[in-house]
Structure 1
Amino acid sequence: MSPTAAGLVQVGILVVALAVVHRPLGDHMARVYSATKHSKLELAIYRLGRVDPDAGQKWSIYAFGVLGFSFVSVVVLYVLQRIQSVLPFDFGRGDVPPGMSFNTAISFVTNTNWQSYVPETVMGHTVQMAGLTVQNFVSAAVGMAVAVALVRGFLRHQSDRLGNFWVDLVRGVVRILLPISFVFAIVLIALGVTMSLKSGVHVDGQLVATAPVASQEAVKELGTNGGGILNANSAHPFENPNAWSNLVEIFLLLVIPVSLTRTFGTLVGNKKQGYVLLSVMGLIWSAMLAVIWVAEANGLRPLEGKELRFGVPGSAIFANSTTSTSTGAINSLHDSFTGLGGGGTLLNMLFGEMTPGGAGTGLYSILVMAIIAMFLAGLMVGRTPEYLGKKLGREEVTAAAVSILAMPTVLLIFAGVAAVLPSTGAALNNPGSHGLSEILYAYASASNNNGSAFAGITVTNDWFQSSLGVCMAFGRFLPIVAVLALAGSLAAQKKVPVTAGTLPTTGPLFATLLAGTIVLVAALTFVPALALGPIAEALL
């Protein structure tokens, strides 16, 4: 079988697998977030945290819960790294330096998982398991909770309550992420992914690092986190040993973001609303896969940087999926992609990672873009825009605009500063347009909470550690606060009846409008920067 045919078979299997689980998982998540009863385990957690699970919260209190929980998580994870030398399973690796600890704490709490260190030489197993893996669960659950809060904004009428953040957080972890991760950790072990508490094994006199990989690999992909427990990430044979494990990991990257569209349709009582979002996500994902795949298959050195176990198709499918979600795991070196192929992975992030996006972040991001699309449609016909029975006035559109503009603002400002700093030249492995692409990619990855890297830039100095950390924080929390403010404004409204002038949002017209808005916003924002980086490189 030719590589192209094998790749098409992989895509087919992936699409069929996602289609099979789309309905049951999507409906399960809808039941999880709408249930009125609490399990005994959940009640015990609420008592421990002194939380009233039946108390609703205003959007501001919900946002305070997200920010407060995240701040405490950053502090705890920072401290764990700074005291690593006194923890078990540290293997003499010592305390993590302050700048690196700050960067890593922000990274994992924001679901970015950007890594400016070599895991097998810097992090011991205790910090990996008690610190980083815990954040893999809870940071994903935070994103899912925010998405559900926004959906409730559409569902509720003349209300100032969006649910309870602590309940949504706990349910996301206990009822969704933990069970699925447990099952797929066993699947990955069966496929050859390692699971060991040893620091490594000696092979021909050399110590080959190992770790409890399978348990962390499952949630790394499922929660669209992406941080590898080993430095080569999913290109390492201990994390991703064969073509089947590669396909399973790609499936895990996509399964929650894709299934959340079904959750959305179920919760709003109109499955077609979810299908429209899914069709837009799938259309752009497919188009970008074609761009990356063709670029790499026809490059001058098509296998450079691509794992020979997976080849161009396996590398392209993984690269497209990890950059179109907020995951950042890699099974190949994106820095070695062609100008067009690397530009495709970068553009996936610049779309705002809503095609299909991360766990929760993809759903609330594309809903925000749907509001912008409806606003533009309203301007064209001279009518107050509506979406799902709610009018989109000044407050709603302002909150949506803030959510969309937060990422490009911090990305372009910090990337521009980095490009002119004298110290940046020493950090780049490549000059010219490719060097600018590396800078843009790094800040796009941080600002979008993706975490993947071109790996052609060294980001261990104080400027990169701190500036990338700031981008991760602002890129995560500014949109979240704006989305929750939007949800609060929507929930306070009365439902608007459907009239002859209401634009239908369940057909191909709206899907085209939404897809066009996503592409247009990204193009207007980033084409000048892209023209100096990957576009110029592709034309050379």
Structure 2
Amino acid sequence: MNTEILGVLVTLLLCFLLAYPLGKYIANVFLGKPTFTDFMLPLERFIYRVSGIDPKKGMDWKQFLKAMLTINMLWFVYAFLLLCFQGSLPLNPDGNANQSPDLAFNTAISFLVNCNLQHYSGESGLSYFTQLFVITFLQFVTAATGIACLVALFNGFKEKTTNNLGNFWVYLVQSTTRILLPLSIVVAVILAFNGTPASFDGKDSILTLQGDSVQVSRGPAAGMIAIKQLGTNGGGWFGVNSAHPLENPNYLTNIVEIISIVVIPIALVFSLGFYLQRRKLARVIFAVMTVMFIAFCTINIYYEMKGNPAIDKMGIAQNGSMEGKEVRLGAAATALWSVATTSTSNGSVNGMHDSLTPMSGAVIILDMMINALYGGVGVGLLNYFIFLMIAVFISGLMVGRTPEFLGHKVEAREVKITALVTLLSAFLIKGGTALAAYFYAHHPEMAWAVQPGNWLNNPSYHGFTEMLYEFTSANANNGSGFEGLADNNIFWNVSTGIVLILARYLPIIGPIAIVGLLAKKKYVPDSAGTLEVDSYTFGLMTIAVIIIINALSYFPALALGPIAEFFNQ
């Protein structure tokens, strides 16, 4: 067997083996059962006491969302101000300047919404202070926010009828202290022992083998890189992210980082089964996600290992399409990473996505358009829940019954919210891309947009794909990009910032509102006519819904970009 393929199989096997026990542990944490991290309880009680939080007080869905949105607004103001004045703050040995207001606006929102869309270069765009107290801080609390919101969904279906979705503050704290922090310490130690910097030293002068003297950035990177992966954040300490040899030194760290990207999202699927005592439902959801994930991995690995067609025509032997990839990792590992990072809302890269073959590029764009194949920490299942509601509604119409989900009737209000959330994604992606294409083609002289005529380094189909990818990444709260696009200007900073906000909070508000409405309804016991949502037949129905909705919504846009490029290469 090809050693690169073997590396992919080992990585995936380890992901699945680790996710199951982690899922059981996460369920036990939020069910209040004893766990090995109970030693964190005094710290949690101290946080509740200082913050004036009553951990025993429950919240309905409106109170839960109010708590979530208000603290997120406070985090945005905090992050924006620090980024605007980072040049005057301590821990800045390299003397990096303040961010401009539009860039600070985009950066603060991007990390606030667990996206990490970086319109700056990591080591030169931020100081150590803002890397730690803005970026790393937000990477913890925004991931914890996603998990907290998912636990609210669990609570809505745990009892037959309830108005209590739990306490947002408790879930936020426990997600940080019991899940994200312990796992980050483990990953950070592995990275540090493999060569990732973990000091506060400034740039170092290095003499290369060619005799050139270069300045190499350093800093306390290992901890930030650990949470960027585990929290499906993805923001790089260095500009080229995990393609940088200090951010991802070798094949071992590459495996560890890929596992870190997907292990919590997969574990949360199993947590649903343990928490609700519906393990078969969790297995069906896991199967649906994994079938599509494996299909996308297979396509990308095939095309990236096949090589570049243009080079084939020249009669030159290839070991995969290696443009934009690291030799120490190989084409297969980059192909796997490209799917793992876009199946979640992670956005980190170990190679340049702009250099992927056209079909691979189409796959990862579609992956972000679906935005529910494992998905971001917590919010991935919330996005998948929307597809579940659509599948339940259509199935109910097919058999002539009022749709039901886990003993609760799905009626007009829930369906309307589901439709709005579904239509929102297509509107933001296609509307944003159309707006960018219009300005690029017709108004290159617009000074406020900082010469939009210079956005693209690539013409025709690939240039369109770069713009489509940017808005798709923003809508999926992913953060990766086709870096042929010059995106650090007012147009892209503001437009993607707006998309980031809408695409983060409305798909959270929608499912939480639906769960809150369903949970208050009278419980309907199972009968002979009850739709079995934990059957593999319903799983196939969900796959069909995902394929049809995304094909109808996005095929024309994909046909204008990566598909057209594929047929014209």
* Cα distance per residue 1:294-337 (max 9 Å; x no partner): 22222325111121111110110001100111000001111111
1:138 alignment partner in structure 2? 141
Distance 1:23 1:430 in 2: 44
1:111 alignment partner in structure 2? 114
Distance 1:537 1:197 in 2: 45
* Cα distance per residue 1:317-376 (max 9 Å; x no partner): 00110011100000111111111111111111011x211111111111112211111111
Give the match's secondary structure for 2:205.
strand
Q: 1:15 to 1:296 in 2, by over 3 A?
A: closer
Indicate whether 1:32 and 2:35 are aligned.
no
Give the match's secondary structure for 1:331.
coil
Distance 1:406 1:68 in 2: 23
Segment of structure 1 superposing worse, 59-68 or 229-238 = 59-68
- How far 1:450 moved relative to its partner? 0.1
Distance 1:17 1:493 in 2: 41
List aligned pairs for 1:111-510, cutoff 5 A: 111-204=114-207, 205-298=213-306, 299-300=308-309, 302-351=321-370, 353-421=371-439, 422-423=443-444, 424-510=452-538
CA contact (8 A) 2:119 2:488 kept: yes
Q: 1:36 to 1:395 in 2, by over 3 A?
A: farther
Give the match's secondary structure for 1:206.
strand
Give the match's secondary structure for 1:365.
helix
2:52 alignment partner in structure 1? 50
Give the match's secondary structure for 1:494.
coil
1:41 alignment partner in structure 2? 43
Give the match's secondary structure for 1:451.
coil
List aligned pairs for 1:50-129, cutoff 5 A: 50-91=52-93, 92-129=95-132
Give the match's secondary structure for 1:161.
coil
Give the match's secondary structure for 1:326.
coil
Segment of structure 1 superposing worse, 187-196 or 144-153 = 187-196
Segment of structure 1 superposing worse, 232-241 or 11-20 = 11-20
Give the match's secondary structure for 2:349.
coil
Distance 1:379 1:14 in 2: 42
2:315 alignment partner in structure 1? none
- In the alignment, structure 2 segments of 5+ residues that lack a partner are 208-212, 312-320, 445-451
Distance 1:486 1:221 in 2: 30
CA contact (8 A) 1:33 1:168 kept: yes
CA contact (8 A) 2:75 2:112 kept: yes
CA contact (8 A) 1:156 1:492 kept: no
Amino acid at match of 1:459: D
Give the match's secondary structure for 2:351.
coil
Give the match's secondary structure for 1:537.
helix
CA contact (8 A) 1:150 1:486 kept: no
Identity level (%)? 38
Amino acid at match of 1:158: T
Q: 1:9 aligned to 1, 6, 16, which one?
A: 6
Distance 1:140 1:22 in 2: 17
- TM, length-normalised to structure 2: 0.92
Distance 1:207 1:468 in 2: 32
CA contact (8 A) 2:206 2:214 kept: yes
Segment of structure 1 superposing worse, 502-511 or 331-340 = 502-511
Distance 1:110 1:408 in 2: 19
Amino acid at match of 2:127: G
Segment of structure 1 superposing worse, 528-537 or 15-24 = 15-24
Amino acid at match of 2:46: A
Distance 1:48 1:534 in 2: 53
Distance 2:282 2:194 in 1: 33
CA RMSD of aligned residues (A): 1.4
Distance 1:278 1:306 in 2: 30
- How far 1:36 moved relative to its partner? 7.8
Give the match's secondary structure for 1:203.
strand
Distance 1:16 1:532 in 2: 36
Give the match's secondary structure for 1:412.
helix
Segment of structure 1 superposing worse, 443-452 or 411-420 = 411-420
Amino acid at match of 2:301: W
1:19 alignment partner in structure 2? 16
- In the alignment, structure 1 segments of 5+ residues that lack a partner are none
Distance 2:235 2:288 in 1: 28
Amino acid at match of 2:328: R
CA contact (8 A) 2:8 2:333 kept: no
Amino acid at match of 1:355: L
Distance 1:468 1:278 in 2: 31
Segment of structure 1 superposing worse, 30-39 or 287-296 = 30-39
- Corresponding residue pairs, total: 536
Give the match's secondary structure for 1:111.
coil
- TM, length-normalised to structure 1: 0.97
Distance 1:54 1:252 in 2: 32
2:449 alignment partner in structure 1? none
Distance 1:392 1:341 in 2: 38
- How far 1:249 moved relative to its partner? 0.5
Distance 2:378 2:400 in 1: 33
Segment of structure 1 superposing worse, 238-247 or 192-201 = 192-201
Distance 2:194 2:33 in 1: 39
CA contact (8 A) 1:402 1:479 kept: no
- How far 1:527 moved relative to its partner? 0.7
Distance 2:15 2:522 in 1: 36
- How far 1:159 moved relative to its partner? 2.2
Give the match's secondary structure for 2:532.
coil
Distance 1:534 1:522 in 2: 16
